[in-house]
Chain A
Amino acid sequence: MMKDIARELRAPLSPPLSASFNGRVMAAVRRMPRHSRFRLWSRLTTPRTVTVIPLSWGLLAASLALFAIIGATRAFDDVRTATKPIVTALFPSSRVPEAPQRVQFVLVAPDAKKVAVVGDFNGWDAGHASYQAQHRGGGVWSVTAPVPVGHHRYSFVVDDSVWVADPTAPRVVDNDFGVANSAIVVQEQK
């Protein structure tokens, strides 16, 4: 019986192999799972049809539009901030409900050569033009400047180096930096 099986296996195939047999075998091999590295490369380089549902395109377009709108809003805010002194000068009576209130800051500093106000409302920028105090005589320095409605911490900077809390305002001891600031609560005028 073993001899019969061996003879059968050694016998030529009937019918003989077709010319495309080799191609079909290789195509089947290519369809077999491959190593992940080759699979990724194949996904990137093989041309294929991409199907995208319309809702996804809509969401993508909406997100890009939102991105653009937020960017434009920021740019508008920058322009508005930059032109605010000009608008205020041209239209002094214009005021919207949430507009910053004008607050007078006063410091008696007879020996000072320069006094500025820094705080949450101007990014703690001692060089901010709107918050430079003027000497009114007798050692009295003052500036009236816009401050947004809300709770703020602030201080005076004398001669670009000495920080002084407002002696007339509530004090906020700041243990983080080991200093004292002043507090102001600006409320909307009714």
Chain B
Amino acid sequence: MRLGHSSVVALLFLARAVLAQDPRLAARLDNPTLVAVNAIIDSARVSKLPTAPLVDKALEGAARGRDGATIISAVHQLSVRMGSAKRALATNATPDEIKAAASALDVGVSVRDLARLRAASGKQPVTVPLAVLTDLVGQKVPILTATNVVLQLARSGVKDPEFAAFQRNVRADIDQGADPTVAATTRARGALARNATPTKPSE
């Protein structure tokens, strides 16, 4: 009897599947939920999606005391959003970018706008711009306005620290009673002006 190579390969896959399971999930989830969540995570792994955010989502659900069905649904929805995000951001997107893009999709940003942001940012990571965009929408800035503002900043080469400062300023303005749309567009003009290349004075 020859020991087939297929059995060795099967053994390797079995070992990988067993070792890939996060022990924290088994400690926090009931068995039916654990089985379902692990199945979703395995599918994500096959699709080459980052699996840590899915584990985190399940752990968060357990920490918040959500029932198994809600946790499974949340993990599944996140998996779907990450798949869309990865396709929109191109194949070389980092796990952090995919995670941030999935959050943006959750608040209503379109897949098309994710792709536009990717194109506008060139080789710069889009994690921070996506976090700012998600925050703006959460601050009641209309999605269209928020998307256009962040795209403009990205196209003009605004860096992560400036994006973060822009977000803080908009939040401070809104907290003081400013209209969210006006706050976002006004602060964006300021950031764009600061980032503009100084021109030589005309002679």
Interface residues of A (CB under 8 A from B): 50-53, 56-57, 59-60, 63, 66-67, 70-71, 74, 118, 120, 123-126, 150-151, 153, 163, 168, 170-177, 179-180, 183, 185, 187
Instruction: State whether A118 touches B63 (Cβ < 8 A).
Output: yes
Residues of B within 8 A of A67 (CB): 15, 19
**Given A53-B2, A151-B127, A170-B132 in contact, is the A125-B63 Cβ separation under 8 Å?**
yes
Instruction: State whether B106 touches A56 (Cβ < 8 A).
Output: no
Instruction: State whether A63 touches B12 (Cβ < 8 A).
Output: yes
Instruction: State whether B3 touches A176 (Cβ < 8 A).
Output: no
Stretch at the interface among B34-42, B54-62, B143-151: B54-62
Instruction: State whether A126 touches B74 (Cβ < 8 A).
Output: no
Bound together, the chains give a CA A69 to CA B90 distance in angstroms of 34
Instruction: State whether A185 touches B11 (Cβ < 8 A).
Output: no
Of B1, B4, B139, most buried by chain A (CB within 10 Å of CB) is: B1
> What 1/0 mask marks residues of chain B from 161 to 183 whose CB sits below 8 Å from any chain A CB?
00000011001000000000000
Query: What total count of A-B pairs have CB within 8 Å?
Result: 115
Bound together, the chains give a CA A66 to CA B11 distance in angstroms of 11
Contact sample, A vs B, 23 pairs, CB 8 Å cutoff: A51-B2, A53-B2, A56-B4, A56-B5, A59-B5, A60-B3, A66-B15, A118-B60, A118-B63, A120-B53, A124-B62, A150-B95, A151-B97, A153-B60, A153-B103, A170-B134, A170-B138, A173-B106, A173-B137, A174-B106, A176-B57, A176-B78, A183-B100
Bound together, the chains give a CA A74 to CA B3 distance in angstroms of 30
Of A123, A163, A176, A180, most buried by chain B (CB within 10 Å of CB) is: A176
> Main secondary structure on chain B at its contact with chain A?
helix
Residues of B within 8 A of A183 (CB): 100, 103, 131, 134-135
The interface size of chain B toward A, counting residues with CB under 8 Å, comes to 48
In the complex, residue of chain B having the shortest beta-carbon distance to the beta carbon of A161? B65
Residues of B within 8 A of A171 (CB): 134-135, 138-139
Bound together, the chains give a CA A167 to CA B1 distance in angstroms of 68
**Given A151-B127, A177-B64 in contact, is the A185-B106 Cβ separation under 8 Å?**
no
Residues of A within 8 A of B167 (CB): 170
In the complex, residue of chain A having the shortest beta-carbon distance to the beta carbon of B76? A176
In the complex, residue of chain B having the shortest beta-carbon distance to the beta carbon of A175? B106
Instruction: State whether A172 touches B103 (Cβ < 8 A).
Output: yes
Q: How far is the CB of B34 from chain A (nearest CB, A)?
A: 15
Instruction: State whether A176 touches B160 (Cβ < 8 A).
Output: no
Residues of A within 8 A of B78 (CB): 176
Find A172's partner among B73, B127, B138 (CB 8 Å cutoff). Answer: B138
In the complex, residue of chain A having the shortest beta-carbon distance to the beta carbon of B53? A120
Instruction: State whether B2 touches A187 (Cβ < 8 A).
Output: no
Find A126's partner among B24, B63, B139 (CB 8 Å cutoff). Answer: B63
